[in-house]
Amino acid sequence: MSNNARVVVGGEIGAAQYFQALAAGVEPSTDHNPVLLKPESDTSSQVVVDGQVDWELSRMAWRERAPRLWGAMTDAFDRVASTVDVVILEGAGSPAEINLADVDLVNLRMARHAEADMLVVCDIDRGGAFAHLYGTWVLLPEEDRHRVQGFILNKFRGDAALLEPGPSQLEALTGVPTIGVVPLVQHGLPDEDGADPHPRSAGGKRVRVIRGPAASNLDEWWPLLQTSDFRWATGPSDLADAELIVLPGSKAVATDLKWIRLTGIDRVLLAAYERNTPILAVCGGVQMLGGDILDPHGVEAAASGLGLIPTVTSLGATKRVQHRSATFADSVREPWSDLGGRTIEGYEIRFGETSFGDPAVPVLPDGLGFTCGSVLAVYLHGLAEMPAITNLLTGRAPTRSLDEVFEGLADLVDDAVDRTWLAKLASP
């Protein structure tokens, strides 16, 4: 479940599964995330199956979906398993959520299908880790307890030697050893399905990204943590000193527009526009800054934008999900003139088609981008993940690549987890 999604051949998958595939050295595929739930409210979500939106399932009651999803999940697993030596299945939540046992597809039921051994990983930074691990083991059906081959304590602060006699007592109670203690680190990965409310950034240019309740694809802004004084903006005061304002995508534009008006962020955005503060709007952010948002097919909801830029958006019945490259016009005006002539690589995940009028000026082909005063409005995600563009936006290039982040985490786990035990689990 995530509103952070990435484009692969065949459609879209969750960002976490996308990055896990990259870390494993394979091309991300819809088989790596055959079912993606994209929350639209506290009680509803868009269901993406094999990379494509399934409207019937999206409108179905939650507990009724499970029988319709199981085949897609097992088919995807079987295809992956037929081509590799080791498959790692990531569960969701806990295998011991007994209130959901009848509809749990991603923990015990898939472990049974795969005849898999299980490692239970616990966030020790939250406290109560030994109780969580013991309680999980006790609540598992007896016939599944043998699957649990090890416990891992994650996000640990301090001296691991002080954990004893906890791990020994836990093993005496369950027969399951604690095979690793992973320290809490600044891992450097993009956020999986939310946004750390207080990210640790590098300092420099004051970049503020507006984080509404339905904001999506926030993971694409992770390189800015390395190159700027980066903060999420959730109220007007967060934007007071901004040198660059970003209005990102949204899974529910009407919901985020209502929130922007309730918080007073709309007034701050207008004042920033009048001061000529650079404002970068992406995808749903473009729609929010503009005029009318029409929804003739009932995709989300019709709404009225903030009116900063002269646009009309119509939400289509089919989602556009694709990789794109495009080149900025040479004539891009200030404050975005440094982008002139630059080719960018990115991806589209959207229903909307936006038309614009004077004084907006097209700067990317096929309606992908335009400027209006201090606003750069683009429909391509991923600009900040191009080091050259990040350098132009913030004046600094990222210090670590994604591959370097993967290598650092691999070394961390290699030192923290019993490699002999892992090798044993991975053996035929």
Q: What is the pLDDT of residues 260-274, one digit of tens each?
A: 999 999 999 999 999
Give the domains, in start order, of the chain with CATH numbers. Answer: 1-87 (no CATH), 206-399 (3.40.50.880)
Q: How far is Cα 405 from Cα 410, in angstroms, rounded to an integer?
A: 9
Q: How far is Cα 207 from Cα 198, in angstroms, rounded to an integer?
A: 14
Q: How far is Cα 56 from Cα 166, in angstroms, rounded to an integer?
A: 48
User: Per-residue pLDDT for 192 more than 80?
Assistant: no
Q: How far is Cα 327 from Cα 339, in angstroms, rounded to an integer?
A: 9
What is the rounded average pLDDT for all residues in the chain? 94
Q: For CA atoms 261, 262, 263, 268, give the dihedral sign.
A: positive
- What is the token pair recorded at 66? 């499970």
User: Per-residue pLDDT for 362 more than 70?
Assistant: yes
Q: What integer pLDDT is reported at residue 41 of this predicted model?
A: 79
Return the SS3 of 361: strand
User: Per-residue pLDDT for 380 more than 70?
Assistant: yes
Q: How far is Cα 56 from Cα 59, in angstroms, rounded to an integer?
A: 5
Q: What is the pLDDT of residues 28-65, one digit of tens each?
A: 999 999 999 998 877 888 999 999 999 999 999 888 99
Confidence band of 92 (pLDDT split at 50, 70, 90): confident
Q: How far is Cα 11 from Cα 411, in angstroms, rounded to an integer?
A: 32
Q: What is the pLDDT of residues 293-316, one digit of tens each?
A: 999 999 889 999 999 999 999 999
Q: What angle do CA 216, 221, 224 make, to 5 degrees?
A: 160
Q: What is the pLDDT of residues 116-167, one digit of tens each?
A: 999 999 999 999 999 999 999 999 999 999 999 999 999 999 999 999 999 9
Terminal C-alpha separation, the chain: 31
Q: How far is Cα 112 from Cα 144, in angstroms, rounded to an integer?
A: 8
Segments of 50-177 assigned E as strands: 52-53, 118-123, 148-156
Q: What integer pLDDT is reported at residue 194 of this predicted model?
A: 62
Q: How far is Cα 403 from Cα 54, in angstroms, rounded to an integer?
A: 34
Q: How many CB atoms lie within 10 A of CB 162?
A: 8
Q: Residue with structure tokens 């009848």?
A: 102
User: Per-residue pLDDT for 193 more than 70?
Assistant: no
Q: Which residues contact 356 (CB under 8 A, 6 or more apart)?
A: 290, 309, 310, 311, 312, 362, 370, 372, 377
User: Per-residue pLDDT for 244 more than 90?
Assistant: yes
Q: How far is Cα 100 from Cα 103, in angstroms, rounded to an integer?
A: 6
Q: Which amino acid makes up residue 62?
A: W
Q: What integer pLDDT is reported at residue 188 of this predicted model?
A: 85
Mean pLDDT of 243-251: 96
Segments of 40-177 assigned E as strands: 45-49, 52-53, 118-123, 148-156
- What is the token pair recorded at 164? 């004893």
- Which DSSP state fits 99? G
Mean pLDDT of 314-336: 95
Residues with catalytic function: 283, 381
